[in-house]
Structure 1
Amino acid sequence: MAEIPPVAVNFEECTVNAIHPVDPRTDPRWRQLAEGPAGGLFTSPPWIQAVCDSYDFTPEARISVAPDGIPVGGFAWVTVSDMRGDRISALPFCDRADPMLSAPEAWAGLADDALATGTPLTMRCFSDNPATTDPRLRAAGEAAWHGTPLECTEEELHARISSTSRRNIKMADRNNVTVVASTELDAVHAFHRLHVRLRKNKYRLLAQPVEFFERIWQQFTGADGVITLLAEVDGEVAAGAMYLVWGDTLYYKFGASLSEYLPMRPNDALYWNALKLALSRGLRSVDWGISDLDQPGLVSYKRKWASEEHRVVTLRGGPDPTPKTEVGTMLGELTRLFTEPTVPDDISTQAGALLYRHFC
């Protein structure tokens, strides 16, 4: 799909609505925005609550309120102060957290307090968000986003996905790959173990702590909004993914698989089952998240699922982030040590719980 050009906003001429500080976890006006067309998973109260509870963050947010009392804009961030220094993330540990705006002029004033601190600020949003034209912000990176619209039948969707995907789905079926969908915490734990193994053995990275996944489950399970899909071969978990529902969208948030099972195509079985699940629940789309542009294989894979593609930009405000210091070098070296093949997975898991907070 062609890129939508950003809407230019004259920030000097905009009439600023009333700006109010709010707690995005509890304020009903923030929830109203998050549940509206400009909202999304990563600006939703339960997601922000799960992140802040897991990493001991205190979120800040501003909403723009029109003269009639209707909230028309919202922007949230977290200030992080640790051994890496001070920085503002809007928001941490998410694919993107677009400012929620009912109109371009609703952006005016929302970021003033965050930018006035003089602390480096980083945010990610769609490239057509009005915030991208704010002269106080500068582009610092770009990623690809994919999402599959679902205003169709299962048969129509099956015809729309790539022929390669259709062949791989059949191959997974021939290889007796079975996909189990679960809303239980045990499935989250099974997925996390797989997640730790993948990040450690393939990427030499630590995984986010299991407590984070548990808090996500706690926040979303009451609304039947968290589903774990596990692809099994002969009773062994070969691949898995964790999905969250917010509004009318199924969000793919975490995925992992074991390399020895990849020829059996468990990931294709997972993707197809996620699409069927979303259709069965009457959802309007599946959000596959973002992919770095230096991962062409992943970008190509997501394109196969009848998806639309847009760009997500990283924006920075205030001074540049602190260059890599001895602390950053130390964190990198600790990560390397704790992901050595000889290190037991449970030790790597504990290391992730101790250190992951500092990676935002």
Structure 2
Amino acid sequence: ESHPEGNYYHLPQWQEVIKESLNHRPHYIFAKNGEGKLCGILPLFQIRSVLTGRRLVSLPFSHTCGPLADSEDTVRLLIERAKGLRDELSCSYMEIRTMQPLSLGLEVNDQFFAHVLKLSEPRLMWQKTIDRNARWAVGKARREGIVVKPHDSTEAFETFHAINLQTKRRLGVPGHHKEFFMAIRKHMKKYARLYLAELQDRFVAGALMINFNGVAGYAYAGSDSRYLKQCPNDLLAWQAIEDSYNDGFRSFDLGKTDSANVGLSHFKEKWGAEPQHLHFHYYPKAPVLVSSNRSGMKYRLVTSVWKRIPLPLVRALSPTVFRQLD
């Protein structure tokens, strides 16, 4: 937990989330120095998928994880051991996701960005950093009567799952299943905070934060499409930004964005978040997947079909399909 580049994906609690909710096998590689002290770690999970093949990933359902080590030599040794493990497990490829590039001869895909906001005093951010369209939307949400509060009950997490699932279907992609969020509540309770936006006794949007090592992570979000004109997502984001600063966090990570997703990038950048390249490293080479080209005809066909599936069927299919992805 003391490594400056460590994030919540490196925590043993997150390993429990993935094992318990998705039934993937962990293969964590550790390095020790001559004195027997831990000097490096590379978290990996083996995923067996009929859609994307058998592979090693650091880490599934993360946008950045990768090795933590006390030197570049240790990083190199961890990667070399991971290559050997890929061969031993007969995986078709290995994928390592990092914020910083690894200069180790791995094939790299840079199609994704992280959007990170440097936090400062909220009043100053409101005046100097936050886009006027975001300020207008926050004001509109308040005028419409939207109220945002933190919740931690099982029922609240179930409500958030339902909202998130509806949002994913609207985007044409499988949603996180309920057990995934319940595992986060169980194992990451020290780090997680769930916000729900309410309008006239109805929950209309939600956001799940996971905070660690000075970084507030805007990890998951969703909204009821019938209430988008009331701007609940904007008030949720601003409330989370304010609280994160007041709780002592130094930055606010709005997560992964595909370079082709202009609308999502705009939402994140209007808060003053800066795009930062994510580096997805592959060995021996990057796979060719439908999701690799999100503007391509195959991806658009798959998403258009998923959007048409009735919500009850989406709810039934998502647990099976979801664990095959990412």
Query: What does 1:186-265 align with in structure 2 at a 5 Å threshold?
Result: 186-200=155-169, 202-221=170-189, 223=190, 225-265=191-231
* CA-CA distance at 1:346 after TM superposition: 3.4
CA distance in 2 between partners of 1:333 and 1:171 (Å):
36
Structure 1 residue aligned with 2:96: 123
Structure 2 residue aligned with 1:138: 107
| 1:125 aligned partner, one-letter code | T
* CA-CA distance at 1:322 after TM superposition: 7.0
CA distance in 2 between partners of 1:73 and 1:177 (Å):
46
* CA-CA distance at 1:210 after TM superposition: 0.3
Q: Structure 2: which 5+ runs fail to align?
A: 291-299
Q: Structure 1: which 5+ runs fail to align?
A: 1-33, 325-331
> Do the aligned partners of residues 68 and 309 (structure 1) sit closer, same or farther apart at CA in structure 2, a change above 3 Å counting?
farther
Structure 1 residue aligned with 2:80: 112
Structure 1 residue aligned with 2:234: 268
| 1:209 aligned partner, one-letter code | H
CA distance in 1 between partners of 2:306 and 2:269 (Å):
34
Query: What does 1:49-198 align with in structure 2 at a 5 Å threshold?
Result: 49-84=16-51, 85-116=53-84, 117-118=86-87, 119=91, 120-126=93-99, 128-129=100-101, 131=102, 133-135=103-105, 137-150=106-119, 152-159=120-127, 160-198=129-167
Residues 145, 289 of structure 1: 8 Å contact kept: yes
| 1:93 aligned partner, one-letter code | F
> Deviations along 1:295-333, whole A, 9 cap, x unmatched?
112112211213233110211112553767xxxxxxx99
> Do the aligned partners of residues 191 and 235 (structure 1) sit closer, same or farther apart at CA in structure 2, a change above 3 Å counting?
same
> Do the aligned partners of residues 319 and 148 (structure 1) sit closer, same or farther apart at CA in structure 2, a change above 3 Å counting?
closer
* CA-CA distance at 1:82 after TM superposition: 4.2
> Deviations along 1:20-46, whole A, 9 cap, x unmatched?
xxxxxxxxxxxxxx4421200212211
> Do the aligned partners of residues 106 and 58 (structure 1) sit closer, same or farther apart at CA in structure 2, a change above 3 Å counting?
same
CA distance in 2 between partners of 1:319 and 1:282 (Å):
41
Query: Alignment RMSD, CA only?
Result: 2.4
Query: What does 1:42-53 align with in structure 2 at a 5 Å threshold?
Result: 42-53=9-20
| 1:134 aligned partner, one-letter code | L
| 2:95 aligned partner, one-letter code | T
Runs of 4+ in 1 over 6 A off after TM superposition: 332-338
* CA-CA distance at 1:213 after TM superposition: 0.6
CA distance in 2 between partners of 1:340 and 1:323 (Å):
22
> Deviations along 1:55-86, whole A, 9 cap, x unmatched?
11221122333335543322121122343442
Residues 89, 122 of structure 1: 8 Å contact kept: yes
Q: TM-score, normalised by structure 1?
A: 0.79
* CA-CA distance at 1:141 after TM superposition: 3.5
Structure 1 residue aligned with 2:267: 301
CA distance in 1 between partners of 2:279 and 2:60 (Å):
15
CA distance in 2 between partners of 1:35 and 1:262 (Å):
40
Residues 209, 350 of structure 1: 8 Å contact kept: no
* CA-CA distance at 1:227 after TM superposition: 1.3
* CA-CA distance at 1:262 after TM superposition: 1.8
CA distance in 1 between partners of 2:245 and 2:33 (Å):
36
Structure 1 residue aligned with 2:7: 40
Residues 147, 309 of structure 1: 8 Å contact kept: yes
| 1:261 aligned partner, one-letter code | Y
